Structures are given as C-alpha cells and as structure tokens.
Amino acid sequence: MKYYLIVGEASGDLHASRLMMSLKKYDANAQFRFFGGDLMREVGGERVRHYKELAYMGFVPVLLHLPTIFRNMRMCKEDIVKWKPDVVILVDYPGFNLSIAKFVHKNTKIPVYYYISPKIWAWKEWRIRSIKRDVNEMFSILPFEIPFYEKKHNYKIHYVGNPTAEEVDTFRQQYTESKAEFCERNGLSDKPIIAILAGSRKQEIKDNLPAMLEAAKHFEDYQMVVAGAPSIPDSYYSEYLDSKGAKIVKNETYKLLSHATVALVTSGTATLETALFNVPQVVCYETPLPRLIRFAFNHIIKVKYISLVNLIADKEIVQELLADRFKVYNIANELFKILPGKEGRETMLRNYEMVRARLGHLIAPDNAAAIMVDLLSNRNSEPVADETPLETSLGVSNVADETEYQ
C-alpha cells in the first residue's frame, strides 16, 4: 500500500520514521512519500519537502513566510491528489496538517489518519470539530487523551502506547557505560550531576538557562551539566556557561539522565523522559508577561498542568515553576527538596512508578502500524477521482491558524 506522511519538526521526523519501519513489518509492499526529515529518508521512500521548510513558529515568522507556507501547502495538496495514496498519515503539527486533512476529506476518498494528537486539550479545543469531520482515525500516545476524546467529545480513538516510554526502556536495557566512564569521556568531575535541560530552541534557552544555572550554582557539592540541543551550536551556550562553571554534553541527553542525581527541565517531552529515567526534577519555564500568563492559565488554558508527568498522573508530582513562579529562589528551594535524603525525592520517585504504569508497555509504532494496516486492508474504499477541481480547492484557509505548529 501507499502511505503519504506529513511532519513539521524533528520530533515528528523521529516518530514518523519509527512508524514507517513498523509499517514495513506489517506491509511488505509499503511505499512512502512524505513531507519529513532525514530519519524518514533513511527508512526509504520519496521526500517531497524537508520539514525545515515548513517549521515557522510564532505570529511574526509566519507572516514573513506566508508565500512559502502557501506554496508548500498547495504543493502538498496537489502531490497527494497526483500520487493517490491509500492513506494520508499526519503527525502532530496541527496548523498545517488540519488544513491538509480538510482538503483530503472534502476532495478525495483517501482516509486520513492522525498519529500523535494535536494538544487541543490544552488550548484551541474548538479544533475537535475539524478533527471529527476530517480525520478518520486518531492514534494517541497519551493515556489521558482517551477520556478527553471519547467521553467529553464522543470521538473514538486508539491509544497505542507511548513511544518515549519504549525508547527510554530500550536505551536503559542496552546502555552499560558507568558514571565514571561517562564523566571522564566528557571532561566532567566525579561530583554528583545536576542535569539541566533548557529546551531545544534558542529562545527557550535564552529565557530559561540563565536562571536555571544561577539556581544550580548554589549547590557546590554538585556539578552542572547542560544537555546541548543538536541544532544549537556550542558557541550559543558559551556566554551562559563560561561564567557559571557549567559544562555541556551534546547529543547525549539519555546518557546524561542515566547518571544525573537531579534535574532542572523545561516543559515538554523532556519532563517525561526525565521521569522515565527516575531522575527527580523541577520544571522551569519562563514566560513573558508572567501575571497575564498566570491569569490565562487559571481562566483560559484548559489543563491544570504543563508537564506531561503531571498531566499523565492527573496530580502534581513535579513542581512547575512557570510565569510568576519562575524565580531563582523558587528553583533553588524546590531543587533542595529533591536532593538525596530529602522526603520530596522519595515521594517523587514513588509517583514516577505510577506514571510509568499508566503509560503501559505497548510498542507504540508497532501497535499503530498493525492497526493501520488492518483497517486499510479491510476497507472497502472507492477509487480516488482522477480529476479534482484543484483550481478552486487548493486554497489556504485560516491563515491565523498557521501560528501554532506544536
């Protein structure tokens, strides 16, 4: 069968590449065409566009690149119609992908599958209308999305397991390097490690890293080690690290977490990864206009927490220091509470066990691929029309929606 996949960032490239490998297990004749990245290309198939040509975040960058966004969206729609895949598989990235889903549903008989749901449970919940209308099957990797979709919105989904949990489990089973070997190889001391995961984008690092380092430097019996993001040059970190005595380790986040005693982490998948490595953590996230953000969090944003750990647990396991709570004193104080021998550390580690249990032990890409192939094999589909009124249907709507790509 023919699979057309669309991703918009590095994490999507990773998850889609693993899904493609799993699809090949269940469909020996699988053919791939995609908007994606280097990992997907390694699996095989034809890349139409690299995701880096799509990944514009924020209102101003989107406005500056509107011609490129329109051109890529039109090309994607035309390419889908021309290639006539058996299915279009969307991976997160809702601003672009929901527009594609709308077009495919309206103008073709091709089913649309969504792997890794957009975070509509946090904001833009109104997007459920287009999902119910335009997406045939939703494949979720977060267990708390089941009641959100099925009970609140009466939309049946597939929970296929969490790929991050499986990736961490696999790594921990295979990794054998000792802490002494890791430290010697990276020019670190033998002190216990405070791992600092300050984000993967320059703006996140600029906003969060200085305060995280300032808080961590008060713990003189520990060494500060920053997990360097692959796409950020070492020179960008230098101005922050040189004055604080911190070191950086690039492209080895899982190895760093394997040997860390505690961690300071920005929100995102990194919070879940840290929990799965059983490293007690403090979540830190600086925001502009902190009082306004706090008001929005209390009255507009639909969720009680920002970290995946707390969302999965449905209670506060890790402290979330964002907006008006993002202060050096608060970070240092919460870090102190989870050091070895402190009660907060043992409580957090016990709660981590519950989070891991809730994720289950399904292998997400394998499970998703098996369901997809089974659905497609049993589907009595009509042939895709040879002629589609492209001149009237390939337009781009909801331009303001393109400001969110996460």
Written as six digits, the tokens of 63 are: 């406005």
What pLDDT score does 73 carry?
A: 87
| HEC-encoded secondary structure of 230-255 | CCCCHHHHHHHHCCCCCEEEECCHHH
176 with 290, same domain: the answer is yes
Backbone angles phi, psi at 250, to 5 degrees: -100, 140
The kind and range of the H/E element at 17 are helix 10-26
Total domain count, the chain:
2
353 with 215, same domain: the answer is yes
Residue with tokens 């690149």: 65
| Average pLDDT, integer, range 258-275 | 95
145 with 218, same domain: the answer is no
| HEC-encoded secondary structure of 295-333 | HHHHHCCCCCCCCHHHHHHCCCCCEEEEHHHCCHHHHHH
CA–CA dist 215, 207 (Å, integer): 14
Percent of the chain with pLDDT over 70: 84
| Average pLDDT, integer, range 42-64 | 70
Residues 220-244 pLDDT 10s: 999 999 999 877 888 899 888 876 7
Band (152; pLDDT cuts 50, 70, 90): very high
221 with 200, same domain: the answer is yes
CA–CA dist 13, 37 (Å, integer): 5
**100-132 burial string, b = 16+ CB within 10 Å, else e?**
bbbbbbebbebbbbbbbbbbbbeebeebbebbe
What pLDDT score does 349 carry?
A: 97
CA–CA dist 212, 331 (Å, integer): 7
181 with 82, same domain: the answer is no
**Taking all residues of the chain, what is their mean pLDDT, rounded to a whole number?**
87
Q: Which of 95-104, 125-134, 140-149, 285-294 has the lowest mean pLDDT?
A: 285-294
For the question of whether the overall pTM of this predicted structure is more than 0.95, the answer is no
Band (398; pLDDT cuts 50, 70, 90): very low
Residues 341-379 pLDDT 10s: 999 999 999 999 999 999 999 999 999 999 999 999 998
CA–CA dist 276, 309 (Å, integer): 9
Band (84; pLDDT cuts 50, 70, 90): very high
Domain that holds residue 89: 2-161+362-403
CA–CA dist 242, 228 (Å, integer): 14
Written as six digits, the tokens of 112 are: 């649309």
What pLDDT score does 301 carry?
A: 59
What pLDDT score does 285 carry?
A: 86
Residues 161-204 pLDDT 10s: 999 999 999 999 999 999 999 999 999 999 999 999 998 888 88
228 DSSP β-pair partners: 250
CA–CA dist 280, 289 (Å, integer): 29
CA–CA dist 159, 145 (Å, integer): 8
| Average pLDDT, integer, range 132-139 | 97
157 with 189, same domain: the answer is no
340 with 368, same domain: the answer is no
39 with 172, same domain: the answer is no
394 with 331, same domain: the answer is no
Residue of higher predicted confidence among 79 and 394: 79
182 with 309, same domain: the answer is yes
Task: Sort strands 193-197 and 112-115 into parallel, antiparallel or unpaired.
Answer: unpaired
CA–CA dist 258, 370 (Å, integer): 32
Asked if the model's pLDDT at residue 59 lies above 60, the reply is no
366 with 225, same domain: the answer is no
375 with 347, same domain: the answer is no
Q: What is the CA radius of gyration of the chain?
A: 22
| CATH label of the domain that carries residue 196 | 3.40.50.2000
CB atoms within 10 A of CB 78: 13
Written as six digits, the tokens of 213 are: 């380092």
